[in-house]
Amino acid sequence: MKRQRSVFKTVVAPTVVVVAFIPTFAISAWMVLHGRGAESYSNVYGLAIHYTSVLILAAVVILILGVAYLARVVHLRRYGEATKIRNQTPYTDPGDSK
C-alpha cells in the first residue's frame, strides 16, 4: 500500500527550490562565461561565495544525483522491485544475560 503524497511535497517544495536556485545559478554561469568567475557575492549569512564555487557545487550535486539514479535503475533492473527492509532484532549486549 503506497502512502499518499501531499501537494507540498510534489508541487510547493520543488517550486521553491527552483525559484531560489535557478537565478543564482544563471547569474554565476553568466559571470563565469564573461570572465568574472572570481568575483563573489554575499549569501544570506554574509559569507562571500565565488561564482565558480556555485557552478562547481551545482556540477557535483548533478553528478551525485545522476549516480544515485543509475544505481536505483540498476538495482530495480536486477531485483525487479525495491527490496523490503528485514525485521531487525534490537541490539542486546552479551553481558546483559540473565
pLDDT of residue 17: 85
Residue-wise pLDDT tens digits, 64-82:
999 999 998 888 888 877 6
77/75 Cα distance (integer angstroms)? 5
The closest alpha carbon to 29, from 55, 50, 49, 53, belongs to 55
Q: Which residues of 72-93 are buried (b: 16+ CB within 10 A; e: fewer)?
A: eeeeeeeeeeeeeeeeeeeeee
CB atoms closer than 10 angstroms to residue 37: 17
Number of helices (H) and strands (E) in the chain: give both, helices first. 3, 2
Residue-wise pLDDT tens digits, 27-56:
999 999 999 989 998 888 999 999 999 999
Residue 1 has pLDDT above 80, yes or no: no
